[in-house]
């Protein structure tokens, strides 16, 4: 709470952060603004207010999109404070029940869906012939799938397409299968980088080391960011002994090396949804754009607010766990931004963006995962 108090003192209450917070823009409620999240944190740190439903809502609605942190002229790290207060609320047994349920599920089942972790290969049914000799074998490249790609049927095409691309190019790789555990990101998003989180990091790292892995490929930006930045932070090390690469960087490299050539055209006007954890928080903006622009005669539309200024899809930061209606409102808001720019197909490179935007998509616009699109056009 000391850090919360120091940021409270740093905040000049200027309100700059409100202008680009999607939740504030939609709800127009000061209590849901980044500025309020800092003020309430300061008051909690000084024991000047009680934990009320409004306070709980202020911290668990945040999508942790990092926009306010990026805009604040005083350098106030609002998302960091949100995570500190979430942890404080959990410690005080005041977190929303869906959050504590989720944390228990991850702890017990090692995934976010409360499904037996031995079912982690559910997504491979369609590609059994390719994947059978890839499970838990020694290889230099590993593909880490993540919970959404492993268990959620609507997301299966994302890892399946990636595997088909690897197979087409005869690139050898391994997957951990049922030995893969959740990366632990949801635990980190509640401000806990202690033993509860570290056991997930250590397990996954140990399994990769056992297989002699040198490079790890991710289709999920959340998993990628967790491995790249949060594992070293939690383990207090400079970096992991692996090269960590998001699939859009990997595919972009293959195209640049002339190993992958997109031959077919895509006739619809496309726009790209920057996932917060890949773009603003990891700095990966160009690789997905390079891939999309390498499609012959493609009509690529850049939104006015894109890259560092790209609005969140609403599906991140655990907001959806408790406040699904709010996540859906944000998704509708974002889809309208694409529609207003004359985009016909929204391209995503993140399971959370695909999932949340898909949940409210209508017949006037469509959504496609970048891996699936590229595979279709090879």
Residue 45 CB, nearest approach to ligand SF4 (Å): 15
Does 79 engage in binding with ligand SF4 (CB under 6 A)? yes
Which one, 14 or 49, has the nearer CB to ligand SF4? 14
Q: Give yes or no for residue 216 binding ligand SF4 (CB under 6 A).
A: no
Nearer to ligand SF4, 11 or 182 (CB): 11
Among 64, 84, 142, 303, indicate the residue that binds ligand SF4 (CB under 6 A).
Answer: 64
CB-based burial label for 203 (10 Å; 0-12, 13-18, 19+) = middle
Residues 4, 8, 17, 219: which binds ligand SF4 (CB under 6 A)? 17
- The angle that helices 53-60 and 78-91 make with each other, rounded to 10 degrees, is 130
**Which one of the spans 41-49, 62-70, 197-205, 254-262 is the region binding ligand SF4 (CB under 6 A)?**
62-70
Question: What's the rounded Cα separation, in Å, for the pair 86 and 360?
Answer: 28
Report in angstroms how near the CB of residue 38 gets to ligand SF4 at its nearest. 5
Q: Which of 2, 13, 238, 257 binds ligand SF4 (CB under 6 A)?
A: 13
Q: Which is nearer to ligand SF4, 287 or 314 (CB)?
A: 314
Strand partners, 300: 270
Q: Does 78 bind ligand SF4 (CB under 6 A)?
A: yes
76 lies in the site for ligand SF4, by CB under 6 A: yes
Q: Which C-beta is closer to ligand SF4: that of 2 or that of 263?
A: 2
Collect all residues with Cβ–Cβ distance below 8 Å to 101 and sequence separation of at least 6. none
- 55, 31 contact by CB (below 8 A): no
Per CB under 6 A, 66 contacts ligand SF4: yes
Residue 23 binds to ligand SF4 (criterion: CB under 6 A): yes
Decide: is 138 part of the binding site for ligand SF4 (CB under 6 A).
no
Closest CA to 77 of 29, 32, 37: 37
60, 69, 58: which is closest to 11 by C-alpha? 69
63 binds ligand SF4 (CB under 6 A): yes
Does 81 sit near ligand SF4 (CB under 6 A)?
no
By the 8 A CB rule, do 221 and 277 touch?
yes
| Largest CA-CA distance found in the chain, in angstroms, rounded | 63
Out of 3, 6, 9, 15, the residue judged to bind ligand SF4 by CB under 6 A: 15
- Whether 228 contacts 218, CB under 8 Å: no
Residue among 37, 83, 86, 246 that touches ligand SF4 (CB under 6 A): 37
Phi, psi of 270 (to 5 degrees): -110, 155
Nearest to 20 by CA among 78, 59, 60: 78
Q: Rounded distance, CA 299 to CA 4, Å?
A: 46
Site membership for ligand SF4, residue 12 (CB under 6 A): yes
In angstroms, how far is the first alpha carbon of the chain from the final one? 53
Chain residues that interact with ligand SF4, rule: CB under 6 A: 11-17, 21, 23, 34-35, 37-38, 62-68, 72, 74, 76, 78-79
């Amino acid at each position: 709470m000391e850090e919360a108090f120091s940021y409270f003192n740093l905040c000049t209450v200027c309100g700059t952060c409100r202008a680009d917070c999607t939740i504030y823009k939609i709800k127009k409620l000061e209590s849901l603004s980044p500025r309020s999240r800092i003020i309430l944190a300061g008051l909690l740190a000084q024991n000047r207010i009680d934990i009320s439903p409004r306070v709980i809502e202020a911290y668990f609605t945040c999508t942790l999109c990092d926009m306010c942190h990026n805009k604040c002229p005083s350098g106030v790290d609002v998302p960091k404070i949100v995570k500190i207060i979430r942890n404080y609320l959990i410690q005080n047994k005041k977190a929303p029940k869906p959050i504590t349920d989720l944390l228990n599920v991850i702890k017990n089942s090692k995934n976010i869906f409360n499904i037996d972790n031995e079912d982690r290969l559910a997504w491979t049914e369609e590609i059994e012939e390719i994947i059978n000799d890839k499970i838990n074998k020694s290889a230099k490249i590993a593909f880490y799938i993540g919970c959404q790609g492993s268990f959620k049927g609507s997301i299966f095409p994302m890892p399946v397409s990636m595997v088909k691309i690897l197979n087409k190019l005869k690139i050898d790789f391994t997957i951990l299968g049922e030995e893969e555990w959740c990366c632990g990101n949801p635990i980190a998003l509640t401000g806990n980088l202690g033993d509860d989180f570290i056991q997930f990091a250590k397990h996954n790292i140990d399994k990769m080391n056992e297989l002699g892995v040198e490079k790890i490929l991710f289709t999920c930006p959340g998993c990628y960011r967790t491995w790249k930045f949060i594992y070293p932070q939690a383990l207090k090390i400079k970096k992991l002994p692996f090269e960590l690469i998001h699939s859009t960087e990997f595919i972009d490299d293959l195209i640049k090396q002339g190993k992958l050539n997109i031959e077919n055209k895509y006739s619809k006007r496309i726009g790209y949804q920057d996932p917060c954890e890949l773009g603003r928080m990891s700095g990966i903006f160009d690789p997905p754009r390079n891939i999309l622009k390498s499609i012959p005669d493609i009509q690529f539309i850049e939104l006015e607010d894109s890259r560092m200024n790209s609005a969140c899809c609403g599906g991140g930061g655990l907001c959806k766990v408790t406040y699904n209606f709010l996540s859906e409102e944000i998704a509708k808001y974002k889809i309208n931004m694409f529609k207003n720019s004359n985009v016909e197909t929204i391209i995503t490179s993140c399971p959370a963006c695909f999932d949340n935007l898909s949940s409210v998509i209508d017949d006037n616009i469509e959504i496609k995962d970048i891996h699936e699109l590229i595979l279709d056009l090879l």
